[in-house]
Structure 1
Amino acid sequence: MNAGTGSRSVPTPPNLPLSVRVSAETEEWSEEPMSPTGRLMEDVGIHIVAILGLGKPLDLPVFRAGIETDLLPRYPRFSCIQVMNDSTGGKPRWERTTVNVDDHIIIPRVDPTAAASNPEKVVEDYMAALTMVPMDRRRPLWEFHFLDFPTSKAASTMVLRIHHSIGDGMSFMTLFVASSRSTADPSRQAAMPPPPKRTGAIYQRRPRPPLSSGKALLGWFLSYLALAWHTLVDSVLLVATILFLSDPRTMFMRAGGSRKAHCRKRFVHRSLRLDDVKLIKTAMNCTINDVLVGVTSAALSRYYFRNSGDIKTKKISLRSFLLVNTRPVSNRQAYVTKVETGNRFSSLICPFHIGVHDDLLEHVRKAKRVMDRKKSSLEVKIIQVFGDFVVKYLSVKIGACILRLFLTRTTIMLSNVLGPAELITLCGHPVVFMAGSIYGQPQALTVHYENYGNTIEITLAVDDAQFPDCHQLLDDFAEAIRLMKDKASLHTSNVDLV
């Protein structure tokens, strides 16, 4: 089906049937109740999209065979539907079903003139239209969309759309790695990055020192006092956010304060050099996450002051809804060997600011202070336990309402997914870039970072009508990285001279 836009024609996703409930018909399939987080994602209606640039034109029989032999066996949820009946008290559960892969493969008709003149826009327009088309709930909630024409970065493009109730970004990333081979050496599986120095939770507990070491024992005791105090403060702020506390209205908040989630989303993305981020990280003695939070603050500041014309405001304090993977990080390759299904993530409310600084690295310094402070708090655990309790013992509707309040009273959603350390070949097709995001959330702007090989792909999911200049906003992220890298290079050179 083609839809005209002026004199140009762009592919439009097919109109799929509306959602229906399916009752249980047989007991021969294995069953599993939906997790509290999965039920929240189901009620809020959040979907994951993964954009993969392929290094060669689509070979459909090869890719289809790869889906059947590599992806489906490793991820049981791809063979399940959500069902509700009296035996579960009205609670949804997963039930296995027969999968016809052809039902999940979509190749839209494309106007060759439009694809030749501006292929990136054709891909963007198709994905934006896709966010307005519901998924068919009579089948497992995943789809492969293939746009088989070259863009500036790839020979063809694959878009995977999945309902977030099936799993989270990290589970799908490990699925991709487990089902692929290293492009450089097809005889082996691609490698994940080495584990970080921290091997425990974000609030890593310090071992108790010997009783004979009085000063060290006092420091250990004070660290637990700080942990208790910061947890109390963060808990109060979480309750205040549910009740009344909201970020000031800026151009980044949804226009008119609407809580409507089902808005047309546009996805734009760009590759950044991982080495540039690592250079800033080394110069500032911080983590990659600290750098990315600082880059986000700097980029949004550039966009805000250029578009608002505000020359008086020095600082605006805002907050992001930051997603946190709760899986242990001590051995990432183990999760590639055995892919974990489902959603295993929590979140925290991460402050950031819109401000003007002569030294752009000040955004990174502030981000580092904020993230260090968050690491001395049980906020992530509190949110996870509270969310599970509300869904299990009160109502998924109440839990979804609280989640929407968090999302509408903070400015942006922010996430970083760690991918393989080298390029991969998936289902017989080399992958030249990977960009992931979500839609269905009641926020006008979502920022996702994704490590892949020697790049970090930044993806912005924006309300299509509210950010007509979203490519300019994307430019601000690239420019912020460039300016920070140049400043960090001078800082590193000065240290070397000393």
Structure 2
Amino acid sequence: MSEPAGPPEPETIGPLAVKIPKPPLISPEKKADFAAGTEKGEPLSPAARLFRQPELSCCIITIFGLGKIVTADELKACIEATLLRHPRFSSAPVKSRSDKPRWVPTKVNLDEHVFYPEIDAASAAARDHAVGDRLVEDYATSLSQSPLDPSRPLWDLHFLAIRTSEAACAIVLRIHHSLGDGISLMSLFLACTRRTSDLESLPTLPEARRRQAAAFRPCLLLFWLWSVLVYAWNTLVSSFIFIATAFFLKDTRTPITPSSAGVEFRPKRFVHRTISLEDIKGIKYAMGCTINDVLLGVTSAALSRYLGRSYHGHLPKNLLIRTSLLVNIRPTPGINALADMMKKGSEVKWGNHLGYILLRLPIMKCEDPMDYIRKGKAAAEKKKNSWEALFSYVLGLMIVKTLGIKVATTLCHRMFSNTTLSFSNVVGPMEEVSFCGSPLVYIAPSVYGHPQALTIHFQSYVNKMTAVLAVDELTIPDPQKLLDDIVLSLQLIKEAVAAKS
């Protein structure tokens, strides 16, 4: 394994004097232990190895708003009783003698992972909550410039004693993507929380809809055969487009396309806005679709509005703008299973088993705002009725095993570079939960380290939905305007639905 990058020097971001903590230096003995290698430990999955490559070194970063201040002792005690009991949070990636990295258990020093950074007293005490919001944004942005130390478990947590417009303080949790996929990691964190109304009970998540298996009847055989043909055809078309994208098929260049290479190495700014989950559900029931369909439609409408201003109201036709979506091939461990694992030490299946889906967003000017959802739903249905995610997962495995991790990294990097943005929607608890005894106010997850200038995440929590943007400011200098467009697009669709019904 290459020599770990040295810890970042303390720096100041902007005029608000947020000092980035300098992690303790690694002892020479510890470096020698890691350099020696070992055959012990679990091998990294192919996806985890991809995320360990410099061009795709992605980190999941999540900002949690808390209702009250948590002391350092309380925070560390909570982490020791939960996250540290998970093997990934107490293991480091080490190259073995067979030259393949493995997760090797190591002793964790929480002082190297949990930070209480110094905040300028005048800024922290400012009455203007917008200043607090900016401080948290600046701090999260600074973390996207500071790599995790590869000789330690790949995560850290930063407590910011800053009052914002929504919360009394904030926690920024950063986890390298090689530890797991975003949904599994979010489930793991939620397994560390408890209901505020009952501190002995785990959170409740909405149950995923499952298609009911119909009893076999001869008349259903033709329907089953037709379904298989539809799946096969959609998979064939999607697979061709997927492969073409990895080699030559590029999205239309627009103002949200990076103007130069290397966007994966540039810092990202993370901004978020809270919208009403009840409004989204109302549109869902009225239009007979899913929450994900509504969010895709709102995103399409917002991007159409945002790009329309860049083109001075004359939005070009047939813009090819696609989003890449990561799909977990293996079912995510449930909250109860993860909580039992951390409590009793039992094992659950874990790791990155990811496939990709490429979805075209309808970018256009619609007289009826509901058309964004209708067209987005039609495109999403074709993806749901295909095996594209499974195909991309199997294809990735074959490339890694036959051509090597470098070729797989190059093709995966090109696939991301040739599409415009990433999109995800993560389901959160249905009731208020507490972490370390403090009520959780909001959850704002995102990711950085991939070659796209825009990433859009939606995270539900109780009756709220948080829209989170990660942007390259050289490409998108005004992310708050795009958040405004998301809020306005949802309102216009809601009004259109009300008028029709």
| Structures share fold, TM-score greater than 0.5 | yes
Q: Return 126-135 or 189-198, whichever deviates more.
A: 189-198
Query: What letter corresponds to residue 171 of structure 2 in structure 1?
Result: M
CA distance in 2, matches of 1:151, 1:452: 18
- The superposition leaves residues 292-329 of structure 1 with CA deviations (integer Å, 9 ceiling, x where unpaired) of 11111111111110232142624423111012233447
Query: Hey, what does 1:295 align to over in structure 2?
Result: 298
Q: Secondary structure of 2:35's match?
A: coil
Alpha-carbon deviation of 1:341? 3.1
CA 1:382/1:407 → structure 2, altered by over 3 Å: closer, same or farther? same
Query: Hey, what does 1:358 align to over in structure 2?
Result: 367
8 Å CA contact 1:195–1:332 kept in 2: the answer is no
- The superposition leaves residues 179-227 of structure 1 with CA deviations (integer Å, 9 ceiling, x where unpaired) of 221012213111111231348xxxxxx768433x2xx433322221121
CA 1:372/1:307 → structure 2, altered by over 3 Å: closer, same or farther? same
2:198 counterpart of 1:188: no
8 Å CA contact 2:204–2:430 kept in 1: the answer is yes
Alpha-carbon deviation of 1:482? 1.3
CA distance in 2, matches of 1:400, 1:188: 42
- The superposition leaves residues 392-414 of structure 1 with CA deviations (integer Å, 9 ceiling, x where unpaired) of 33211111111111100011011
Q: 1:433-448 counterparts in 2 under 5 A?
A: 433-448=442-457
Alpha-carbon deviation of 1:156? 0.6
CA distance in 2, matches of 1:456, 1:398: 38
8 Å CA contact 2:93–2:103 kept in 1: the answer is yes
Q: 1:11-30 counterparts in 2 under 5 A?
A: 11-14=19-22, 22-24=34-36
Query: Hey, what does 1:241 align to over in structure 2?
Result: 245
CA distance in 1, matches of 2:388, 2:89: 32
Query: Hey, what does 1:454 align to over in structure 2?
Result: 463
Query: What letter corresponds to residue 460 of structure 1 in structure 2?
Result: L
Query: What letter corresponds to residue 270 of structure 2 in structure 1?
Result: F
Query: Hey, what does 2:6 align to over in structure 1?
Result: none
Q: Return 388-397 or 35-44, whichever deviates more.
A: 388-397
Q: Return 315-324 or 374-383, whichever deviates more.
A: 315-324
Alpha-carbon deviation of 1:259? 4.5
Query: Hey, what does 1:348 align to over in structure 2?
Result: 357
Query: What letter corresponds to residue 353 of structure 2 in structure 1?
Result: R
CA distance in 2, matches of 1:335, 1:296: 32
CA distance in 2, matches of 1:370, 1:221: 22
Alpha-carbon deviation of 1:46? 0.5
Q: Return 463-472 or 217-226, whichever deviates more.
A: 217-226
Q: 1:118-197 counterparts in 2 under 5 A?
A: 118-197=131-210
CA distance in 2, matches of 1:92, 1:329: 24
RMSD of aligned residue pairs (Cα, Å): 2.3
Alpha-carbon deviation of 1:335? 5.6
Residue in structure 2 matching 1:57, options 59, 69, 79: 69
Residue in structure 2 matching 1:83, options 57, 80, 94: 94
Alpha-carbon deviation of 1:232? 1.1
Query: Hey, what does 1:10 align to over in structure 2?
Result: 18
Query: Hey, what does 2:489 align to over in structure 1?
Result: 480
8 Å CA contact 2:115–2:159 kept in 1: the answer is yes
The normalised TM-score by structure 2 is 0.90
CA distance in 2, matches of 1:443, 1:264: 12
Residue in structure 2 matching 1:463, options 472, 482, 488: 472
Alpha-carbon deviation of 1:24? 4.7
CA distance in 1, matches of 2:14, 2:465: 32
CA distance in 2, matches of 1:254, 1:51: 25
Residue in structure 1 matching 2:387, options 378, 381, 384: 378
CA distance in 1, matches of 2:159, 2:276: 27
Q: Secondary structure of 2:363's match?
A: strand
Q: Secondary structure of 1:144's match?
A: strand
CA distance in 1, matches of 2:324, 2:292: 14
Query: Hey, what does 2:429 align to over in structure 1?
Result: 420
Query: Hey, what does 2:325 align to over in structure 1?
Result: 322
- The number of aligned residues is 476
Alpha-carbon deviation of 1:332? 6.7
CA 1:245/1:13 → structure 2, altered by over 3 Å: closer, same or farther? farther
Q: Secondary structure of 1:255's match?
A: coil
Query: Hey, what does 2:225 align to over in structure 1?
Result: 221
Alpha-carbon deviation of 1:25? 6.2
Query: What letter corresponds to residue 182 of structure 1 in structure 2?
Result: R
Alpha-carbon deviation of 1:435? 0.8
Alpha-carbon deviation of 1:161? 0.7
CA 1:51/1:144 → structure 2, altered by over 3 Å: closer, same or farther? same
% identity of equivalent residues: 40
8 Å CA contact 1:412–1:447 kept in 2: the answer is yes
CA 1:286/1:330 → structure 2, altered by over 3 Å: closer, same or farther? farther
8 Å CA contact 1:2–1:110 kept in 2: the answer is no
Q: Return 216-225 or 419-428, whichever deviates more.
A: 216-225
Query: What letter corresponds to residue 142 of structure 1 in structure 2?
Result: W
Q: Secondary structure of 2:18's match?
A: strand
